[in-house]
Amino acid sequence: MKKRPFLMALVTFGAIFILFVVFAALLGRCSGGGARFSMGEKVGVVEITGVLTSSQEINEQLVAFRDDNSIKAIVLRVDSPGGGVAPSQEIHDQIARVAKVKPVVVSMGSVAASGGYYVSLPAARILANPGTITGSIGVIMEVTNIEELFRKVGVKSQVVKSGEHKDIGSPLRGMSDSDRRILQGVIDDVYEQFVDAVAEARQMAPAKVKVLADGRIFTGRQAVTVGLVDELGSLYDAATVAGQLAGIKGEPKLVYPPKKKARLVDYLVSETLHNLRRGLGSEAVGGAQFLWSE
């Protein structure tokens, strides 16, 4: 059979090129999260950081780790002062669903207060550093009034509304007694939801929870003493606990979700909103909040 050196060289080059592409793709997948392609049994790490204004990305990461058979347990690294009530509750509920499938352990960082504590509740174990700031069980709603400022600069607001309370919480008028009663009723109801969640997760009587739930903060060491946290430990201690609960032998490999590439426009929008909220005296979206403010 007559040899065709050019054809053989072309086939060889093509095979090498395909192998290179496959290797580059595998390398790209494992480089984003740090250990996605590592050998051994793995523990996924989901980071819950900053003010909680949305649950989407965190919940997507939780579901991805739940459905990944190579991930045997999940550690939540919580470093958040809380945020909006609804995002906190959505994250809490998704963690509760995931915890029915795989062990979930919380590692508290510098701050895991208010909503940051709320999202930690469904975990099988909660670990905190001795100096972690946690607790702040409660609800807050801040309404800024700029009516006097507008009066000084000669600006007057005209409002047309369908009912007495349609503009409740407006910064352009004072709060009436009936407004305050309505808003207090909302806060009280959401507060009871928080208390019930703590009572169920920590196996405490609601009356005992309310003694601790006046908005006060605790150090990690204090939180262990009063029963809000299970034990003291670092992220790697939490990973060890998660590995033990999952039956992993030896040191588990930590896996992080692939990091999304940040776009300049997203950064600029995020920074603008951040600075605007700071200027208005609030780091989170308006409304009732599970939020600890320094």
Q: Annotated catalytic sites, by residue?
A: 114, 166
Helix (H) or strand (E) holding 190: helix 177-202
The token duo for 228 is 């809000």
34 burial (CB, 10 Å; 0-12 / 13-18 / 19+) is middle
3-state percent breakdown (helix, strand, coil) of the chain, nearest 5: 45, 15, 35
Residue 130, amino acid: P
Whole-Å CA distances, 158 to 151, 180, 224, 238: 13, 22, 53, 56
Dihedral angle over CA of 48, 49, 52, 55, nearest 10? -30
For 126, residues 6+ apart whose C-beta sits below 8 A from its C-beta are: 105, 106, 108, 120, 228, 229, 230
Closest by CA to 236, choosing from 124, 79, 107, is 107
For 77, residues 6+ apart whose C-beta sits below 8 A from its C-beta are: 45, 46, 47, 48, 49, 107, 109, 235, 238
Distance between CA atoms of residues 137 and 177, nearest Å: 26
Are the C-beta atoms of 92 and 118 separated by less than 8 Å? yes
φ, ψ (nearest 5 deg) of residue 38? -70, 155
Residue with tokens 């801040």: 142
